[in-house]
Amino acid sequence: MGTEPAIRCGPLPKPDMIPANPSPTQPVRWQALWRDAIREPQALLDQLGLGHLSHRVSAEATAQFALRVPQGFVARMRHGDPDDPLLRQVLPLVEETFSVPGFALDAVGDLPSSAANGVLHKYRGRALLVATGSCAVHCRYCFRRHFPYAEQTAAANDWESALAALTADTSIHEVLLSGGDPLSLSTEKLAQLTDRLRGVPHIRRLRIHTRLPIVLPERVDDELLTWLTRLPWPCAMVVHANHANELDENVFSAFARLHRSGVNLLNQSVLLKGVNDSVPALADLSERLFSGGVLPYYLHQLDRVSGAAHFEVSDTQALALHEQLCAQLPGYLVPRLVREVAGAAAKLPLASVTPATHHVSDSRYSM
Ligand SMILES: *Cc1c(COP(=O)(O)O)cnc(C)c1O
Ligand code: SF4
C-alpha cells in the first residue's frame, strides 16, 4: 500500500451497536460514514458523470497516497464538472507523478524538529501533538502526505512519552491537537488524553486543528460536544476549508453546535491553483465562513511537497490576490497570507519572505 498512513480512526462501533436496518430517525454514526468513504478514483468519477476522465488519474499516485473522500463531501461537488474545486482537492491526477525541482518529501522541516513521541515544539509557548495519522479525507496537496505517521504519532506510543514531554516543559501554555486529523480519534480516546492534561498547571489553552467538521460534519455529535463543554481550558478549533462550496447546511449546523459548546472557531486554507486562486473565490469563502460564525485565520502558501506542484500559485500572484482581498473585505475577514519556513519562529507573512523584486501593482504574473 505504499506509504499510505494506516487508518486508525478509533474503535469502530461494535457490530451490535449498528442495527442492520437503521430506522430513518436514528442518526447515522460518523464511524459508519467514515467507513463508507469513496476510495476508488473510478467510482468517484463515475458518480460525478466524469467516467471518461480516467486517463487523468494516476494509479501510482493513488498507491502512494490513497484516494479517500466521504460521500457527504462528494455530494457538494458539481456533477459533470471536471474542474470542480472540491474534486480537484481529492483526485489523484497524473500531474502528481511529475518530478518538479524544489518540491521535496519533507517540505516544512518537520522531520528534524520532531521528537519521536509525536510532539512538535517549533514555536514558543505552543506545542503540536501529532495525535494520529488518520484523516477522513486525503487532500492531495497535504504536506503530510509523506510523513512517517506510524512511528511518529503520539498514539503509536500510548501517549505516555508525549504527555511526559508536555508535562515537563513549563514553557508550553497551549497544546495543539493535530495530525492527521485528531477528531478521527474516538471521543473516548480524546477524553483520555485531555484527562491526563487536566492537572498540568502551565497549560492554559487547547487548540484543535481539524478538517472533520467540514468533510464529515456528523463527527460533531453529542458525545463530542459533551467532551468539549467539559474541557477545563478555553478552546480554539481551527477548521480547514478552501472553497465556499465546501460549506453546506450540514457544516453550518456543525458550526452552530460547536459554538454552543463554547468553542472559538477559526479557519485555515491553503492557496491552491484551480481551487481558490481568485479574488471572488477567496472573498466568497471568507464571507461564507463568517456567516457560519467562523473567522478566517491563515491562508497558507503551499508547502512545496513533491506531488503537489500543480497546485502552486506563485508568490507574486499570491501577494496580488491578498492585496486585492484586503481592498474588498473588512480586515477581520482577510486571512493572514503566510508561508511556513523551516527554522522560523512562526509562520511568516508572505510579504516578509518574498524577494524585494516584488511589486504588488505588477499584475503581469505568470500562471
Ligand atoms: C503551525 C504550527 C503551530 C501553530 O502556529 P500558530 O501561528 O500559533 O497558529 C504550532 N506548532 C507547529 C509545529 C506548527 O506547525
Ligand atoms: S490537509 Fe488535513 S485533512 Fe487533508 S490530508 Fe492533510 S492533515 Fe489530512
Task: Please enumerate in sequence order all residues whose Cβ is within 8 A of that of 66, keeping only pairs 6 or more positions apart, or say none.
Answer: 1, 4, 39, 138
Gap between the Cα atoms of 289 and 280, Å rounded: 14
Best CA proximity match to 179, nearest among 120, 106, 255: 120
Predicted confidence (pLDDT) at residue 144 exceeds the cutoff of 80: no
Predicted confidence (pLDDT) at residue 277 exceeds the cutoff of 60: yes
Q: Is residue 37 within 6 Å of ligand 2 at its C-beta?
A: no
Predicted confidence (pLDDT) at residue 85 exceeds the cutoff of 50: yes
Q: Is residue 176 within 6 Å of ligand 1 at its C-beta?
A: yes
Model pLDDT, residue 285:
99
Task: Please enumerate in sequence order all residues whose Cβ is within 8 A of that of 245, keeping only pairs 6 or more positions apart, or say none.
Answer: 76, 77, 78, 84, 85, 86
As a whole number, mean pLDDT of residues 233-249 equals: 98
Kindly indicate the confidence band of residue 365, based on its pLDDT and cuts at 50, 70 and 90: very low
- Please give the number of the atom of ligand 1 that sits closest to the Cα of 108: 15
Model pLDDT, residue 6:
29
Predicted confidence (pLDDT) at residue 2 exceeds the cutoff of 90: no
Model pLDDT, residue 145:
79
| Residue 223, helix vs strand vs coil | helix
Of the two residues 28 and 234, the one the predictor is more confident about is 234
Model pLDDT, residue 158:
75
CA–centroid distance, residue 20 to ligand 2 (Å): 32
Model pLDDT, residue 156:
72
Of the two residues 231 and 16, the one the predictor is more confident about is 231
Under 8 Å between Cβ of 299 and 266: no
As a whole number, mean pLDDT of residues 239-258 equals: 98
CATH number for the domain formed by residue range(s) 111-365: 3.20.20.70
Task: Please enumerate in sequence order all residues whose Cβ is within 8 A of that of 357, keeping only pairs 6 or more positions apart, or say none.
Answer: none
Under 8 Å between Cβ of 44 and 91: yes
Q: Is residue 139 within 6 Å of ligand 2 at its C-beta?
A: yes
Domains of the chain, residue spans: 30-97, 111-365
Gap between the Cα atoms of 335 and 38, Å rounded: 31
Ligand nearest to the CA of 143: 2
- Order of strands, sheet of 119-123, starting from the edge strand that comes earlier in the sequence: 119-123, 126-130, 174-178, 205-209, 235-240, 264-270, 295-300, 336-339, 348-349
**Total residue count of the chain as it appears in this document:** 367
Gap between the Cα atoms of 119 and 362, Å rounded: 42
Under 8 Å between Cβ of 257 and 294: no
Gap between the Cα atoms of 288 and 290, Å rounded: 5
Q: Is residue 305 within 6 Å of ligand 2 at its C-beta?
A: no
81: left (phi over 0), alpha (psi -120 to 50) or beta: beta
As a whole number, mean pLDDT of residues 103-114 equals: 63
